[in-house]
Structure 1
Amino acid sequence: MKPHEAAGWWLYMIRAEDDSLYTGITRDVTRRLAEHKSQTSGPYRGAKFLRGKRDLQLVFSLAMKNHSQALKLEHAIKQLRKPCKEALLAGKLSVEELLGRSETEGKSDKCAAR
């Protein structure tokens, strides 16, 4: 079993050639990345956001306790502006800080970075 398959749910982030970031959740990161890269239609297709984007690279993955926690973190990350997402990737913003942010903050230019 690969490390990405050991946990029940994973949160992942993909960077495309145009430097855009995509966040998603899955049970199998390796399989999901392959689906995004294949850009086919049908039941096992990649995300609409990534269609037409090239050179997709997995830049972040995190094992989650359960589906609910994965969904919460995915939503929190998707609410961030790009500088905050980059701070998360650089380790300047922790997942704990991100989950502790008030829902009233919404999309903010300021990150709760250390």
Structure 2
Amino acid sequence: MAWTYILRCGDGSYYVGSTRDLDRRMTEHYAGMGSAYTSDRMPVELVWFMETSHIGEAYALERKLHGWSRPKREALIAGRFDLLPGLAKRRTSSSDD
């Protein structure tokens, strides 16, 4: 088992991570030893998490969420899955001009 998670930092930013042991990792984050990013932005709050079957899957999801916009992450956190497709990055082609 493994986990992908999102923290809301004290400065309002989000941190996305993955781990094999969510309880241990959260203890580290809450103590200011989770990462250089979060330790400079205390306090942190766990706002979303998802269990996966293995760490490779958790890490792949983490990488995917890193590419998401803030509004898309906030829709995920709020459980507004219906909004996710509309928040996907739009690509424009030269034929759209």
TM-score, structure 1 as length reference: 0.67
Q: Does 1:35 find its partner at 2:28? A: yes
Q: Does 1:47 find its partner at 2:23? A: no
Q: Distance in 1 between matches of 2:36 and 2:87?
A: 27
Q: Distance in 1 between matches of 2:52 and 2:35?
A: 21
Amino acid in structure 2 at the alignment position of 1:111: L
Structure with greater contact order relative to length (CA < 8 Å, sep ≥ 6): 2
Q: Which has the higher strand share?
A: 2
Q: Does 1:68 find its partner at 2:56? A: yes
Q: Does 1:18 find its partner at 2:6? A: no
Q: Residue 78 of structure 1 aligns with which residue?
A: 66
Q: Distance in 1 between matches of 2:40 and 2:55?
A: 29
Identity of aligned residues (%): 31
Q: Residue 58 of structure 1 aligns with which residue?
A: 46
Q: Residue 111 of structure 1 aligns with which residue?
A: 87
**Any runs of at least 4 consecutive aligned residues in structure 1 with deviations exceeding 4 A, and if so which?**
none
Give deviations 1:5-61, integer Å, cap 9, x for gaps: xxx10111111122111111111112111111222xxxxx42121122122111111
Structure 1: runs of 5 or more not aligned? 1-7, 40-44, 99-109
Structure 2: runs of 5 or more not aligned? 89-97
Q: Is the 8 A contact 1:84 1:93 kept in 2?
A: no
Amino acid in structure 2 at the alignment position of 1:28: D
Q: Is the 8 A contact 2:6 2:16 kept in 1?
A: yes
Q: Residue 88 of structure 1 aligns with which residue?
A: 76
Q: Distance in 1 between matches of 2:59 and 2:2?
A: 10
